[in-house]
């Protein structure tokens, strides 16, 4: 009956609240060729094989028909969009100031700051009979933390937010609409954001502060420093990623718990379960539903199908996370689940750079909300969703109840 491809149906806005039945259909198809020549993969073991296959590129310039309209010509792609060895070099230079082996304590040292930010935000909800968990909590928390980590001044956060929204909007590929306007706006936003971050880096060169931008511009490591264009695209990537994904993880997490009062109660009683509960959220409702940028460098056979060189390849991580061939009772949310090697942060060499920060933020955020909100419940279910099928999450999550009763506890 329907002539729409599975990818078009997944992309359709009406599918946003519950794309999981479409993913079940996708897994039944195996490796699924779409009418436009692209391929979708939604089964766990095939996704795992492709994520670890060096013949699968993250650089869309390897496509037979690459769409580069949102890429300004004078900015290089960031490490998320290039392959090794270039990806490895760029990522390693950034990692030197984010994590081990060079800076092992950076994220751990942020823990108390994150707790303070979460507490302040919960305190700010005191006396309100209705809150929006997105605008009042899940958005400001990671944005404040990423800006503090990088060294972006608080007063510049609204401008950063504007550019980020424009760039994120360009990731959507609605087939029924000409995307040129959105792509041009995104290219312009990338140039503006790079200009802003480049100027900020210059200020830190002259007057270093205790932040990641200062560390990057003063790096005296054996491999040298990022070039100026590399620095600004890396900072743009970290800023956007720090804005977009954790917001959805926190919001999807609260939505999942508010729908399951018994799980919510259990986490209140057993706070030591929070780390595994967050892993389960990453499996059950991952903020990045699919990787849309992969391309085979040669014909690649997987699941009995040959995916031709140069075609767009979509790895639907959120579908792999629900694959019953890999996970027992895959559609059940179990905060104490063992054997949970989910794709919430991808896998392989491109696995999420900020994963440790996102984990910590979400554990702290959900703990603060569970203890700060008394008898919260959803105002509308499903909530209104943001547009993107890739970075999927509620636009608003209205909650009511005795919001402040337990605040400050």
Partner 1 sequence: MQIVVDLNRCQGYAQCVFLAPRVFELHGEEALLYAPTPPDDQAERVRRAAAACPVQAILVGERAGAGAGTDVR
8 A C-beta contact, residue 38 and residue 7: yes
Name beta bridge partners: 291: 315
Please tell me whether residue 275 adopts helix, strand or coil conformation: helix
* Stretch near partner 1 under the rule CB under 8 A, chosen from 75-83, 240-248, 249-257, 349-357: 349-357
Q: Per-residue DSSP letters for 392-404?
A: --BS--EEEEETT
Q: Is 401 in the site for partner 1 (CB under 8 A)?
A: no
* Stretch near partner 1 under the rule CB under 8 A, chosen from 38-46, 97-105, 132-140, 261-269: 97-105
Q: Is 278 in the site for partner 1 (CB under 8 A)?
A: yes
List all residues 6 or more positions away from 138 whose beta carbon is below 8 Å from its beta carbon.
Answer: 246, 247, 248, 250, 251, 254, 365, 397
How far apart are CB 10 and partner 1 at their closest, in Å?
Answer: 26
* Stretch near partner 1 under the rule CB under 8 A, chosen from 214-222, 318-326, 345-353, 388-396: 345-353
List all residues 6 or more positions away from 179 whose beta carbon is below 8 Å from its beta carbon.
Answer: 69, 170, 172, 173
Q: Is 107 in the site for partner 1 (CB under 8 A)?
A: yes
Q: Is 266 in the site for partner 1 (CB under 8 A)?
A: no
Q: Is 223 in the site for partner 1 (CB under 8 A)?
A: no
Both tokens of 24, joined, read 């079940």
Q: Is 360 in the site for partner 1 (CB under 8 A)?
A: yes
Q: Is 99 in the site for partner 1 (CB under 8 A)?
A: yes
Q: Is 54 in the site for partner 1 (CB under 8 A)?
A: no
Q: Is 269 in the site for partner 1 (CB under 8 A)?
A: no
Q: Is 279 in the site for partner 1 (CB under 8 A)?
A: yes
Please tell me whether residue 408 adopts helix, strand or coil conformation: coil
How far apart are CB 107 and partner 1 at their closest, in Å?
Answer: 5
* Stretch near partner 1 under the rule CB under 8 A, chosen from 195-203, 232-240, 268-276, 386-394: 268-276
* Stretch near partner 1 under the rule CB under 8 A, chosen from 115-123, 299-307, 339-347, 375-383: 339-347
Q: Is 176 in the site for partner 1 (CB under 8 A)?
A: no
Question: Helix crossing, 355-372 with 274-284: angle to 10°?
Answer: 110
Q: Is 65 in the site for partner 1 (CB under 8 A)?
A: no
Pairwise CA distance, residues 189 & 125, whole Å: 33
Eight-state DSSP code of residue 66 = -
Pairwise CA distance, residues 167 & 178, whole Å: 16
Measuring CA to CA, how many Å separate 67 from each of 64, 173, 387, 391?
A: 10, 11, 20, 19
How far apart are CB 20 and partner 1 at their closest, in Å?
Answer: 23
Give the number of C-alpha atoms closer than 13 A to the C-alpha of residue 239, restricted to the C-beta side: 29
8 A C-beta contact, residue 397 and residue 251: yes
The footprint of partner 1 on this chain (CB under 8 A) covers a number of residues equal to 26
Q: Is 181 in the site for partner 1 (CB under 8 A)?
A: no
Q: Is 355 in the site for partner 1 (CB under 8 A)?
A: yes
How far apart are CB 240 and partner 1 at their closest, in Å?
Answer: 21
Q: Is 275 in the site for partner 1 (CB under 8 A)?
A: yes
* Stretch near partner 1 under the rule CB under 8 A, chosen from 53-61, 113-121, 129-137, 356-364: 356-364
Cβ-based nearer residue to partner 1, 227 or 351? 351
Q: Is 339 in the site for partner 1 (CB under 8 A)?
A: yes
Query: CA 225, 226, 227: angle at the middle one, nearest 5?
Result: 110
Cβ-based nearer residue to partner 1, 137 or 345? 345
- Beta carbons within 10 angstroms of residue 159's beta carbon: 13
Q: Is 245 in the site for partner 1 (CB under 8 A)?
A: no
* Stretch near partner 1 under the rule CB under 8 A, chosen from 58-66, 149-157, 177-185, 347-355: 347-355
How far apart are CB 98 and partner 1 at their closest, in Å?
Answer: 9
Q: Is 363 in the site for partner 1 (CB under 8 A)?
A: yes
Beta strand 398-402 with 374-378: parallel, antiparallel or unpaired?
A: antiparallel
First-to-final CA distance of the chain: 56
Q: Is 356 in the site for partner 1 (CB under 8 A)?
A: yes
Cβ-based nearer residue to partner 1, 166 or 367? 367
* H-run or E-run covering 132: strand 130-132
Pairwise CA distance, residues 172 & 179, whole Å: 9
Binding site for partner 1 (CB under 8 A): 92, 99-101, 104-105, 107-108, 272-273, 275-276, 278-279, 338-341, 345, 347, 351, 355-356, 359-360, 363
């Amino acid at each position: 009956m329907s002539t729409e491809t599975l990818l078009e149906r997944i992309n359709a806005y009406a599918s946003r609240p519950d794309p999981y039945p479409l993913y079940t259909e996708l897994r039944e198809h195996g490796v699924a060729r779409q009418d436009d020549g692209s391929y979708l993969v939604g089964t766990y073991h095939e996704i795992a094989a492709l994520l670890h296959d060096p013949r699968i590129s993250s650089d869309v310039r390897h496509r037979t028909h690459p769409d580069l309209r949102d890429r300004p010509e004078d900015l290089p792609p960031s490490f998320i969009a290039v392959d090794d060895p270039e990806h490895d070099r760029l990522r390693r230079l950034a990692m030197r100031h984010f994590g081990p082996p060079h800076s092992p304590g950076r994220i751990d040292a942020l823990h108390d700051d994150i707790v303070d930010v979460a507490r302040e935000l919960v305190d700010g909800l005191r006396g309100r009979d209705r809150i929006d968990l997105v605008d009042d909590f899940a958005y400001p928390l990671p944005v404040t933390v990423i800006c503090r980590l990088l060294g972006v001044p608080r007063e510049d956060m609204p401008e950063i937010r504007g550019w980020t929204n424009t760039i994120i909007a360009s990731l959507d590929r609605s087939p029924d609409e000409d995307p040129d306007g959105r792509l041009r706006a995104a290219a312009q936003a990338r140039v503006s954001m790079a200009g802003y971050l480049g100027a900020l880096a210059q200020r830190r060169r002259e007057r270093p502060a205790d932040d990641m931008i200062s560390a990057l511009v003063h790096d005296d490591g054996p491999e040298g420093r990022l070039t100026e264009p590399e620095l600004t695209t890396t900072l743009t990537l970290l800023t956007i990623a720090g804005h977009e994904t954790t917001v959805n993880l926190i919001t999807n997490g609260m939505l999942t718990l508010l729908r399951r009062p018994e799980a919510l109660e259990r986490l209140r009683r057993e706070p030591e379960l929070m780390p595994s509960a967050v892993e389960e959220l990453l499996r059950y409702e991952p903020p990045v539903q699919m990787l849309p940028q992969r391309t085979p460098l040669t014909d690649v056979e997987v699941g009995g199908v040959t995916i031709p060189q140069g075609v767009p390849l979509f790895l639907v991580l959120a579908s792999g996370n629900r694959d019953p061939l890999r996970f027992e009772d895959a559609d059940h949310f179990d905060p104490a689940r063992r054997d949970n090697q989910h794709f919430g942060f991808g896998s392989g060499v491109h696995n999420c750079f900020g994963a440790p920060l996102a984990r910590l933020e979400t554990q702290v955020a959900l703990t603060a909300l569970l203890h700060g909100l008394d008898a919260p419940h959803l105002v509308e279910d499903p909530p209104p969703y943001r547009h993107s099928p890739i970075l999927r999450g509620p636009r608003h999550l209205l909650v009511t109840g005795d919001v402040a009763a337990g605040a400050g506890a």
